[in-house]
Amino acid sequence: MSGMRLGKAFIKFNGELLETLPGASIDIGGVERKVIKGNNSIHGYSEEPKESMIECEVSVGPSTSLTKLGAITGATITFEADTGQTWVVRNAFNTVTPKATDGDGGKVPVKFAGDPAEEM
């Protein structure tokens, strides 16, 4: 099988494109299953909800606000792949304190958690 594969992702926060660096990832969340092990066999599993997670690094420019990045709550985050897929995470919030690192365009890791992602 041949064809386009994921090469770039575009992350938007409430419709605003973030200036992200390569390496963004998405965990779509949903249901996480835990194995229930007995003494002699697998008894089954239990389920619990799992948050979605979008991780990326934002490059630092003159208009980059670390305060704004750190304050993100209740947001709608989209992860758009260059292969055409789009996932939307609602009620998202940043889980890390922004920390800027110099060099290579400046890097600020951002981790958004929220409701399970919806594939559009």
Q: Tell me the per-residue pLDDT of 88-117, one tens digit each, with 9 for 90 and over.
A: 999 999 999 999 998 877 899 999 999 999
E-only strand ranges, the chain: 9-13, 16-17, 25-27, 30-37, 42-50, 52-58, 75-81, 86-94, 108-114, 118-119
**pLDDT score of 56 more than 80:** yes
pLDDT at 67: 95
Closest CA to 113 of 27, 21, 1: 27
Give the distance, in angstroms, between the CA of residue 94 and the centroid of all CA atoms in the same chain: 10
The domain limits of the chain are 9-119
Asked whether the predicted pLDDT for residue 1 surpasses 70, the reply is no
Identify residue 73 by its one-letter amino acid code. Answer: T
At 66 the pLDDT is 94
pTM confidence score: 0.89
CATH domain 9-119 topology: Elongation Factor Tu (Ef-tu); domain 3 (2.40.30)
Confidence grade of residue 3 (pLDDT, cut at 50, 70, 90): confident
Instruction: List pLDDT tens digits, range 8-51.
Output: 999 999 999 999 999 999 999 999 999 999 999 999 999 999 99
The three-point CA angle 4-12-84 to 5° equals: 20
